[in-house]
Structure 1
């Protein structure tokens, strides 16, 4: 049965789920503190639903990017397409956003907010850990944290000579090499340098020309200089460069003619290529993502208070070329280039007085410039193909915030907080003479809008002997903006708003060998930024056209029945539906009628799909599976005084979900069936440092799944996820 894993997940007790942020191995009991200290307490006791994976766990699971962490996070659905991170937490997220809009999930690296979805699926390089806070985090983490935040922490320099090196080889000629070295320069200064190179030949075949697709060539290097004297002040300066080159986006079409427009135009009347890992499309260019980033973290620990300052700068470039018609004929290709820079700063003071009253007060700001260049090619565009559109968005953002903590009794605490955010966005658009030939295009125009949002939070928590129970109210907001690329002046989208009510409990029993957590939540989600059909132009635009309600339960447990054996599991049940979505954009076949969809135009008998409209009130939100489970077993076996064997098996079950509202329209093909993602590994590790040998297999159950699966005027096609992969690695640490 498809729910057969339920008993396993609960019985084995999940270690990393959206209801509990706890230590990955019960064998150690170190406290896990959220990045930059904003939560400021052990997450086992913090009144927030969260999950934390240590650097050691990331290594055991062979997690190569932040996206892969979802195998231990049932409440998270994390896909990527063309380098863009499409992450959803409890059904809240954003499919994709170019200049002018942001994701509903905030991603931070070492305390610095990453403005863009592209490049946010960071490679795992010398990571200290990854933490996910579920639900709106507006008071502490600001705008665009409607559904939650992902906090990535890299390792800081230490006062020891240490380092490591490893090389891995896997299926599809995949090679990964990684190295780290940490050198103390003096009593107060240390430097740490980490680098990683990853290559893969790809797992998809383009039957049109025999090319291999799905491969990549990624390189990341990071240097950190740490200053950590015996006094109260410490500082870390980091510089990072990353370059990711991946094969052209490969999309497997699900239908042939008449739904596939290019198939009919060029006589390719066959359905999709026979294999799941086969595509048939025009040759295109590689996708390139590169960035240079600098971060300065300052901390001062005073008597009863601490001051933290985080400053970040990131210069970014993205180039992608996509065959949009899913066939070998050249009907519709696009070129997009996005580039710009971001400057962020966040400072806060946190008190730790002996009395009942404490507080956190801070202010954050951001300056961002994001330019999007769009260009269209192919027979579909006639005289205006090759036209270039430049859409530039300048952002100025400022937000004071704070939380106040009052201990009503020694065990009962009240938290009240909030943030007031002001975003000023300016849009500047230029269309070249060829692009101006497009219907409705304007040569150039400018717009300016200001978006203001207040996101309060209130929590009542009660401390247990080894845990906490809590009830919380919070609000999140995704900033308004512009849906680029834009050919003519836009009606700006207003901010999305989400109000959350949550109750939860966390506890540990039997000398912390058994950890349990549960959370229940209800969301009122308003002014959702969605696409719609513009009856005047026949095109698809965007507006705040939908409201939704979301509620669910999260359960986790982690047990260490004997030393060295950790059994964990978790489950998420989610009911996420639109309350009102009367003008939903769908796509209808031109060749035949669509019973039950009165908003579809009268069939013309021609090939391809056409814009329609539907009332999708009551339908599920995209990427919001009803059930998700995780289960894992970690077993460390001492072989001698010097060596351990480590066995790890993990399974993530994801229920079926839609990629688009209503699965894209009458065909209902923009939908992912339920699947299991199983990984297993066996390692030989020398203690306390030395040789590491590891063999692993990923996607052991041969799950067939998509990373995205859009329906469009040209048909239905999606990017497929990797098949079963296996390999081995050798490493050494000192």
Structure 2
């Protein structure tokens, strides 16, 4: 059962390309955070930029983070939109289900869902006391603890509490300049509690509270192998180890990444005879701190740091019929308010006493309101037509101050001129589906999504970037064969993508600008096959053809004779989109068997990725790779205990999740190397 149309429906009856991952499958695959979901979802790739998660679906996403910068793939938790990318790194201790919706979601999930969305649904509290706890230990001296408790508080009021904590003692690499660890998560703590009250007269109220605190040097950044920084030369030691030890770097200032955030949300469902009113309101605040060496060398040349506080308020009011009929519909209003700023964006150049600094404290405000409605009607037996429409108005402002401090400590600070921009945009969905027998559904659809424009938060002198728009033309099928043992879902899609928001880097600061147009087409297919009662085989494949059809003024990087890089403006027409592989495929085996006085569950999954480019110039490339994961769980009969062995990235591929060329040189960071460990869990 999925909620891709904001109501609970059977996955095979929904005319949308959806991947649904249940809590049981998350446990079998040893998936503990949103960053791991991509390993069993071929249409989804997940990378990180400066500690922020950046999802892409079918090659659509973006590589920028900052105040009031949102992703083209939206993240929702229990219907609440999570705007700041850093706050999307969520643990999965209390998850009921994860749904990945492919393609633009411009009607029911209209908030910047150009590429699609990741929807996380948490468990509701229960009226009987129960829970589970687990402890894990893995290589790199990593310890993880998880706890989930639920039960009644008073009559008609239930609550739960989920706690997650981890600590990594050793980093994946070493900073050769100061012998400090790199790619190390010192702490990752998260707490979440949900309260559920049921009243008479058809009223249900849910309140949720969450808090997270993360401190790490993960990910780290280093110069791409074979290239040199702009400001100097790498040492022979670094050059000789950069291929075999890519997690090492040679920076005099270590990468520092801290996030403290949390929020509260409430949902009220009120049955009013033939209709149900739902209101979902939320408040969130996150403070995001970072410091890093921007020159890639062990000398003090360019050091950058910032503090980014951001808060958001959302409120969504929905009305829908209480009971299903030939006409299914939903209508609503959505309000979004975001205040983001850099308390201090500091770039220090040189070393004392000759050090100078540039300082900016820009602030940004976003206000948006949207009205939407969608209806599905059975026009003929087993034939349905769906129409949806959303109209969004958005207003953004920019202000603050910027300036410099010279070597003598004299400040020259001036106000950033107040500026504003607004967008009024319609988006829609049109679809036709037919049930060809009880087990085969076919559908065609046209979906339009958009992502609003905005201001460049890191380099305020750059012009605002314009809204992007994506039209998705899709034909798909969902079939269940062999008495339910085989499920095959597939969709062919064709994208027309305009004013694409891409990024470059000026002095290691991300700048967003627009590419004119791209075309993309491909197949998104998945299957589940119960070969026997105890053996489930799953898989999927996403071949993809994507090209910029018009991009005359892209930022193009070139290699100089001394292996440094420089950039200029040129054409990227005909190039591939960033982080869009030509093909991804996955194959998984889930085998359960009775062994002695207990039950064993073996899960093995291989994800293949054909490789991708980091930016529109197609200068830096990550080659093809496999990611092989496995877990073996054993639960004795009549015992609350479970024991699990697991391994991720077994073949130890070094996969670049961030690739960039800027005015200070190149930068790359990598996904985790091979990790393995064991977990002991208990249910009560």
| TM tier, smaller | over 0.9
The offset of 1:38, in angstroms, is 0.7
- 2:659 is aligned with 1:721: no
Over 3 Å counting, the alpha-carbon distance change for 1:47 and 1:639 in structure 2 is: same
Superposed, 1:610-629 pairs within 5 Å as: 610-629=566-585
C-alpha distance in 1, partners of 2:140/2:200? 50
User: CA offsets per residue over residues 56-100 of structure 1, 9 Å max, x none?
Assistant: 211222212101100111111101132211111111101013124
- 2:230 is aligned with 1:261: yes
C-alpha distance in 1, partners of 2:355/2:454? 27
The offset of 1:249, in angstroms, is 4.2
Q: Please say if residues 131 and 150 of structure 2, whose CA atoms lie closer than 8 Å, have aligned partners that are also in contact.
A: yes
Q: Which of 445-454 and 236-245 deviates more?
A: 445-454
User: CA offsets per residue over residues 448-504 of structure 1, 9 Å max, x none?
Assistant: 11111111110001123124110000100001111112343x532221000110000
Structure 1 gap ranges (5+): 1-31, 593-606
C-alpha distance in 1, partners of 2:440/2:132? 36
Over 3 Å counting, the alpha-carbon distance change for 1:339 and 1:354 in structure 2 is: closer
Q: Which residue is 1:20 aligned to?
A: none
Out of 168, 171, 175, the residue aligned to residue 202 of structure 1 is 171
C-alpha distance in 2, partners of 1:732/1:355? 44
- 2:55 is aligned with 1:87: yes
Out of 158, 163, 171, the residue aligned to residue 139 of structure 2 is 171
Out of 620, 645, 661, the residue aligned to residue 600 of structure 2 is 645
Q: Which residue is 2:314 aligned to?
A: 344
Over 3 Å counting, the alpha-carbon distance change for 1:33 and 1:264 in structure 2 is: closer
Q: Which residue is 2:292 aligned to?
A: 322
- 2:208 is aligned with 1:238: yes
Secondary structure class of the residue paired with 2:125 = coil
The offset of 1:706, in angstroms, is 1.3
Which structure has more strand as a fraction of its residues?
Answer: 2
Superposed, 1:392-403 pairs within 5 Å as: 392-403=363-374
Q: Please say if residues 263 and 269 of structure 1, whose CA atoms lie closer than 8 Å, have aligned partners that are also in contact.
A: no
Q: Please say if residues 220 and 247 of structure 2, whose CA atoms lie closer than 8 Å, have aligned partners that are also in contact.
A: no
Superposed, 1:213-224 pairs within 5 Å as: 213-216=182-185, 217-224=187-194
Superposed, 1:552-563 pairs within 5 Å as: 552-563=522-533
Q: Which residue is 2:481 aligned to?
A: 509
- 2:252 is aligned with 1:282: yes
Q: Which residue is 2:538 aligned to?
A: 568
Q: Please say if residues 552 and 572 of structure 2, whose CA atoms lie closer than 8 Å, have aligned partners that are also in contact.
A: yes
The offset of 1:286, in angstroms, is 2.5
User: CA offsets per residue over residues 567-598 of structure 1, 9 Å max, x none?
Assistant: 11110100011000111102234546xxxxxx
Q: Which residue is 2:21 aligned to?
A: 53
Q: Please say if residues 608 and 714 of structure 1, whose CA atoms lie closer than 8 Å, have aligned partners that are also in contact.
A: no
- TM-score by length of structure 1 reads 0.87
- 2:2 is aligned with 1:33: yes
C-alpha distance in 1, partners of 2:238/2:141? 34
- 2:60 is aligned with 1:129: no
RMSD of equivalent CA atoms: 2.6
C-alpha distance in 2, partners of 1:293/1:687? 41
Structure 2 gap ranges (5+): none
Secondary structure class of the residue paired with 2:335 = strand
- 2:31 is aligned with 1:75: no
Secondary structure class of the residue paired with 1:263 = coil
Secondary structure class of the residue paired with 2:531 = strand
- 2:347 is aligned with 1:379: no
Out of 493, 496, 510, the residue aligned to residue 524 of structure 1 is 496
Q: Please say if residues 83 and 121 of structure 1, whose CA atoms lie closer than 8 Å, have aligned partners that are also in contact.
A: no
Secondary structure class of the residue paired with 1:278 = coil
Over 3 Å counting, the alpha-carbon distance change for 1:540 and 1:462 in structure 2 is: closer
Q: Which residue is 1:636 aligned to?
A: 592
Superposed, 1:666-677 pairs within 5 Å as: 668=619, 670-677=620-627
C-alpha distance in 2, partners of 1:249/1:454? 38
User: CA offsets per residue over residues 621-669 of structure 1, 9 Å max, x none?
Assistant: 01110110011011111346x7311111011111110011123xxxx3x
Q: Which residue is 1:660 aligned to?
A: 615
- Which has the bigger relative contact order, CA under 8 A and spacing at least 6? 1
- 2:431 is aligned with 1:459: yes
The offset of 1:40, in angstroms, is 3.6
The offset of 1:285, in angstroms, is 5.5
